[in-house]
Amino acid sequence: MKLIFEKSVPGRRMTVLPVCDVPPAELPRELVRDTAPALPEISETDLSRHYTALCRHVHGVNCGFYPLGSCTMKYNPRIDEEMASLPGFTNIHPLAPAHTVSGCREVLDTAAQYLCRIAGMDGMTFQPAAGAHGEFTGVLLIKQYHDARGDSKRTKIIVPDSAHGTNPATAAMCGYQVVNIPSAPNGCVDLEALRAVLGEDTAGLMLTNPNTVGIFDENILEITRLVHEAGGLCYYDGANLNAVMGVVRPGDMGFDCIHMNLHKTFATPHGGGGPGAGAVGCKEFLMPYLPQSSLMTGSECLQVRSFAGNFLVVVKALTYIMTLGREGIPEAAQNAVLNANYLMHRIKGTFTPAFDRLCMHEFVLDLSEFKKETGVSALDVAKSLIDYGMHPPTMYFPLIVHEALMLEPTETESRETLDWAAEVFGKLYELGHTDPEWMHHAPHNAQIGRPDEVQAARRPVVRWQKA
Ligand SMILES: *Cc1c(COP(=O)(O)O)cnc(C)c1O
């Protein structure tokens, strides 16, 4: 497909402005550029077609199944967007006098109350702009707590190897030494390994639960007890709360602080290019260190972002929570778990689950045997799914499973869609044995086949340059 710049024809316009009937004002000479900007010149029809064509090349939740593990690509009710586009919410200014934005204040306060109740926490801030930013904020709470007590020997944060990759990065960004501990064969935290590293230098533990292989740690209470006993605090990575919301509360499991990605679980799609919100909650004793979200409290309190964070994401989350209500929130979680288990069982006859046990909202397939048999890799399977109209699952993550495909079907998929997905996986399993070549070269029907992933990550070309 051609770029909009390549479709440009000199002099082509879509004139919408009337002829100027006032004398033109001259701009100061020093502000005027020497050469005209290289903007595309194109008619309105062609512009509209260009963007519509681009839109058709994108796979979204409204186009088809999107089982991208850990990212909760679920369908989000349109009413959430509708509420977030109300002029009373969109036309405010962060410096508006408090009495003119008391409705917005109420949205923040109410959302904080509900999320505190869901997480089992006492305080909540909406400042962090995303999950990793929330983790950073949460671990800073832990740091400030130890600093305030003059406990300077706590220099280490423990991170199990089944954690999300952002966890060790966060701990390092906060100036901590990261202590990695291995998982037990059942996919849970190895308690012996945990005991062995706990000590006077432990600042805390960061835990993703359910972890990245989709397992709820059965020793969760023992884990938090051990960390507290050593004087550390417990951080809950609740980026994806889909399996537990309304069912169990991280606060009751013994965690001291948490971040939740409102842009996964609570109505804003993850990775959609828009803003997110990594709401951070904590227990009462950490509240003095919590950055405030108030519209007007301004500079005197700790801030990790300007003003109240991405406010409209909170509007969507509140709408979502109020629409589902006390009964709907746990029901959504239960259906997410049901759908994941259903799909795992339907696929199980072909590809092998990494952990063949009850999963939470997601599960991981281990394709290492399949690759040995056929030479077809997890990447080949993921690429082949594109030809069947399915978004690939998360690949090669978590690192503790080789040839991993991580699937999270979410609760908003019908049984028919899950059956179809299982059939597609079944077909690809067969194809791996009969026509591996086809799979090595998939996708056959996409705009982009197999970009050089190193180049794409290290030197992405995302900007058109005038020749
Ligand atoms: C998505 C995710 C994160 C990071 O969230 P971002 O908003 O992408 O920064 C952290 N932890 C877990 C478990 C996640 O699934």
pLDDT given at position 272: 64
Q: Whose CA is nearest to atom 12 of ligand 1?
A: 239
**C-beta atoms surrounding 203 within 10 Å:** 26
Please report the atom of ligand 1 found closest to the CA of residue 271: 8
Residues 6+ apart with CB under 8 A from 292: 125, 127, 301, 302, 303
Query: What's the 308 CA to ligand 1 centre distance in angstroms?
Result: 20
Q: Could you tell which of 68, 71, 240 is best to mutate to test the pocket of ligand 1, judged by most ligand atoms within 8 Å of the CB? A: 240
Classify 41 as helix, strand or coil.
Answer: coil
* Helix or strand (DSSP H, E) at 261: strand 257-261
Q: Whose CA is nearest to atom 8 of ligand 1?
A: 131
User: In a structure prediction context, what are the per-residue pLDDT tens digits for the chain, which is 467 residues long?
Assistant: 899 999 999 999 887 788 889 998 999 999 999 998 889 999 999 999 999 999 988 898 889 999 999 899 999 899 999 999 999 999 999 889 989 999 999 999 999 999 999 999 999 999 999 999 999 999 999 999 999 999 999 999 999 988 888 999 999 999 999 999 999 988 899 999 999 999 999 999 999 999 888 899 999 999 999 999 999 999 999 999 999 999 999 999 999 999 999 999 999 888 766 789 999 999 999 999 998 765 444 444 678 888 889 999 999 999 999 999 999 999 999 999 999 999 999 999 999 999 999 999 999 999 999 999 999 999 999 999 999 999 999 999 888 889 999 999 999 999 999 999 999 999 999 999 999 999 999 999 998 889 898 998 899 888 888 77
Alpha-carbon distance values, 210 to 217, 227, 250 (Å)? 7, 18, 11
Classify 159 as helix, strand or coil.
Answer: strand
pLDDT given at position 297: 45
Query: What's the 442 CA to ligand 1 centre distance in angstroms?
Result: 29
Residues with CB under 6 A from ligand 1: 70, 130-132, 164, 166, 208, 237, 239-240, 261, 276, 278
Q: Could you tell which of 70, 135, 159, 166 is best to mutate to test the pocket of ligand 1, judged by most ligand atoms within 8 Å of the CB? A: 166
Please report the atom of ligand 1 found closest to the CA of residue 135: 10
- The structure tokens listed for 424 are 């597609």
Rounded Cα distance, 55 and 47, in Å: 12
Query: What's the 41 CA to ligand 1 centre distance in angstroms?
Result: 40
Rounded Cα distance, 238 and 116, in Å: 13
pLDDT given at position 293: 61
Please report the atom of ligand 1 found closest to the CA of residue 264: 1
pLDDT given at position 341: 97
Q: Whose CA is nearest to atom 2 of ligand 1?
A: 239
Query: What's the 302 CA to ligand 1 centre distance in angstroms?
Result: 23
Q: Taking the C-alpha atoms of 174, 180, 184 and 185 in order, what is their torsion angle to the nearest 10 degrees?
A: 110
